Amino acid sequence: GQQVMQIPQYQHVQEGEDFTTYCNSSTTLSNIQWYKQRPGGHPVFLIQLVKSGEVKKQKRLTFQFGEAKKNSSLHITATQTTDVGTYFCAGPGSNDYKLSFGAGTTVTVRA
């Protein structure tokens, strides 16, 4: 079945630095979604990318969908302590409403 893999598993970042987390799928995706889960919280929808090569920005977060629609990235600039949490990418599986989640990238920030 379809698998979604994320790297790195952990990202330790100095406050103010930039970092990127990557998501790769074993199959072509019709769309990809990103979620953020704060420690002790539940996943919260961030964004959905649909088009090949699509780039979307939310303040300091930049999301990109690969040209082949098999990979995606999340780039955060000027990391803040509010960015702490686990970022999941998720792609549709056997039907468009079913999501397969990656294992997530857990971000910690050093002040």
Partner 1 sequence: EAGVAQSPRYKIIEKRQSVAFWCNPISGHATLYWYQQILGQGPKLLIQFQNNGVVDDSQLPKDRFSAERLKGVDSTLKIQPAKLEDSAVYLCASSLGGQGARSYEQYFGPGTRLTVT
Residues in contact with partner 1 by CB under 8 A are 31, 33, 35, 41-45, 48, 88, 90, 92-104
User: 22 or 35: whose CB is closer to partner 1?
Assistant: 35
Least distance between partner 1 and beta carbon 96 (Å): 6
Least distance between partner 1 and beta carbon 7 (Å): 13
Residue in 43, 54, 52, 56 with CA at minimum distance from that of residue 99? 43
Indicate the SS3 state at residue 69.
coil
Least distance between partner 1 and beta carbon 45 (Å): 5
100 φ, ψ to 5°? -105, 120
CA atoms within 13 A on the CB side of 94: 1
